[in-house]
Amino acid sequence: MIKSMRMTALAAALVAATSLTAAAEVVYHRGNSADPETLDQHKTSTTYEAHILRDMYEGLVAYSAEGEIIPGAAESWTVSEDGLVYTFKMRPDAKWSNGDPVVAGDFEYSLRRIMTPETGAKYANVLYPIFNAEKVNTGELAPEELGVKALDDATLEIKLQAATPYFIDLLGHQTGLPVHPATVEKFGSDFVKPENIVTNGAFVLADFTPNDSITVVKNEHFHDADNVKVDKVKFYPTEDRGAALRRFQAGELHTNNDVPLEQIDFIKETFGDQFHVAPYLGTYYYAVNHESEATKDPEVRQALSMAIDREFLAEEIWGDTMVAAYSFIPPGIANYGEPALAEWADMDLLDREELAMKILEEKGYSEANPLEIEIRYNTSENHKNTAVAIADMWKPLGVEVTLLNTDTKTHYAHLRDRGDFDVARAGWIGDYSDPQNFLFMVESDNVGFNYARYENPEFDALMDEAAVTLDLEKRAEVLKQAETLFMRDLPFIPLMFYGSKNIVADSVSGFEDNLLDIHPSRFISIAE
């Protein structure tokens, strides 16, 4: 009887201790757009996958709360005078979640893996500046020929094909995140399962329930674990933005990375400072087909562009969550300065409309003889409303618009496969903060993104020159010349710069608005 009572008391004490631990556990409930297609960092292609992966893994470099590059698994690095060789010194206290040290060889293995054709990496081209990367990725050379070498456990050397001033920024992309070699070798593609996974970031995967949540828990072996304030992060797929907003209002989400635009007025009135709208590194644009009879004339393209009331689109259609764009490269981007604006950017809208009408009249177009243009867009109420508004703006010029809507997958496949079109809606979010990541899209040989089929040898030559220019100021001048040509020829008509739209509870600190909209959970604190 006495033994039984003692056991009962012990059990009660254990239950009480467990309850106290559970009560003290800090959980960050984070809305995150959608379920990931993969948690293999070498096969990922979306921002919502990147948010999860950057919490679980740490590359040679990482991001601060402000979205700036900081040392990661490498504590420091040096660059040779010619800009071709980067030497990284590994952080001595960096460990994997199983306690293994993070060594230079882990990154040699990982970078070879992403470039191996059999891996099927969708974003391998981000790292093509590495020596022989493209040839390895296309199967011309063996992975061992890649310009990455572990000189010893503490030193990693990366050689480049050509000097790339923004190379460190590229390493912040999710493609630069490492895998744990022994785990990949043992489990193959199953290394991503919670029971197998080994990570080197602030958190490690604990559970993945599709269509419900992904749970990551604090990695006690992480070198900065003492400063990580949350014990667990639960990522929720929040494709239904209205439902996510209701969950936020009910206190079930601490943050969510998007909102339903049709409720913008309600959100602003109800949530006040908890609604964060900030500049985002992205451009919403219309691609203009340079091979189409309707849009192959550069003066016609300029007339169409200058007649668009971008402020109306940004403020009325998009609820003031976008910013009118008169350049293709977003303001505030690194390594650049002020973007190259359209020549008529400072003109009054009425004067622009009058000039646009005159240009089209001289081309023989009028209401009696309209310029017929089809606008293609992917499914979204806001994309539709944008297209309808632009059609109305073009109508007084003698432009007759028809609209064609398809689902997103079909829409972009049509553009990539060089299907017929006149004007098509598209958007680009920068992978890294550098103007090259925007202008490269319309280089002649960029079949995947050059929807306009723009071919200008002068533009290509400027991009080639910029690629080998080490002096950042001189490089910026060359890229400015390239953007000036872009704005003259208009392969794309820039319409708006994206704004990030986050809702952030008052209990959350460490969430800093930034151009890349990157918010590592390791810097978040929750006050309950």
pLDDT digits (tens, 9 = 90+) for 395-442: 999 999 999 999 888 999 899 899 999 999 999 989 888 999 999 999
Q: Which of 493, 436, 433, 434 is nearest to 463 (CA)?
A: 436
The dihedral over CA atoms of 121, 124, 126, 132, expressed in degrees to the nearest 10, equals 170
pLDDT of residue 23: 52
Check if the beta carbon of residue 39 is closer than 8 Å to that of residue 49. yes
Tokens of 343: 């020549």
Q: Which of 334, 312, 309 is nearest to 397 (CA)?
A: 309
Q: Which of 131, 148, 153 is nearest to 82 (CA)?
A: 131
pTM: predicted TM-score of the whole model, two decimal places: 0.82
Q: Rounded to the nearest 5 degrees, what angle is found at the Cα of 136, between the Cα atoms of 86 and 154?
A: 35
Which residues, 6 or more positions from 161, have their beta carbon under 8 angstroms from its beta carbon? 128, 129, 130, 131, 132, 133, 134, 147
The Cα 103–Cα 504 span in angstroms is: 37
Q: What is the DSSP string of 435-499?
A: THHHHGGGSTT-TTT-TT----HHHHHHHHHHHT---HHHHHHHHHHHHHHHHHH-SEEEEEEEE
Helices vs strands, H then E, count in the chain: 16, 19
For the stretch 345-403, pLDDT in tens is 999 999 999 999 999 999 999 888 999 999 999 988 889 999 999 999 999 999 999 99
Check if the beta carbon of residue 426 is closer than 8 Å to that of residue 376. no
Tokens of 98: 């199983």
For the stretch 254-280, pLDDT in tens is 999 999 888 999 999 999 999 999 989
Q: Which residues of 247-258 are buried (b: 16+ CB within 10 A; e: fewer)?
A: bbeeeebbbbbb
Check if the beta carbon of residue 107 is closer than 8 Å to that of residue 147. no
Q: Is 87 exposed, middle or buried (0-12, 13-18, 19+ CB in 10 A)?
A: middle
Check if the beta carbon of residue 265 is closer than 8 Å to that of residue 280. no
Percent of the chain whose predicted confidence (pLDDT) is above 90:
84
- For range 57-68, the mean pLDDT: 97
Question: What are the strands, taking DSSP E only, across 289-337?
Answer: 323-324
For 172, list phi and psi in degrees, rounded to 5. -80, -15
The Cα 523–Cα 528 span in angstroms is: 16
Q: Which residues of 479-498 are buried (b: 16+ CB within 10 A; e: fewer)?
A: bbbbbbbbbebbbbbbbbbb
Q: At what angle do helices 472-489 and 457-467 cross, to 10 degrees?
A: 160
The Cα 272–Cα 456 span in angstroms is: 48
Q: Is 437 exposed, middle or buried (0-12, 13-18, 19+ CB in 10 A)?
A: buried
The Cα 138–Cα 237 span in angstroms is: 34
For the stretch 7-45, pLDDT in tens is 343 344 334 444 434 458 999 999 998 888 899 999 987
The Cα 297–Cα 253 span in angstroms is: 51
Q: How high does pLDDT run on average in the chain?
A: 93
The Cα 117–Cα 143 span in angstroms is: 9
For the stretch 453-505, pLDDT in tens is 999 999 999 999 998 888 889 999 999 999 999 999 999 999 999 999 999 99
Check if the beta carbon of residue 264 is closer than 8 Å to that of residue 275. no
| Start-to-end Cα distance in the chain | 43
Radius of gyration of the chain (CA): 26
Q: Which of 73, 64, 56 is nearest to 108 (CA)?
A: 73
Check if the beta carbon of residue 326 is closer than 8 Å to that of residue 342. yes
For the stretch 230-263, pLDDT in tens is 999 999 999 888 999 999 999 999 999 999 888 9
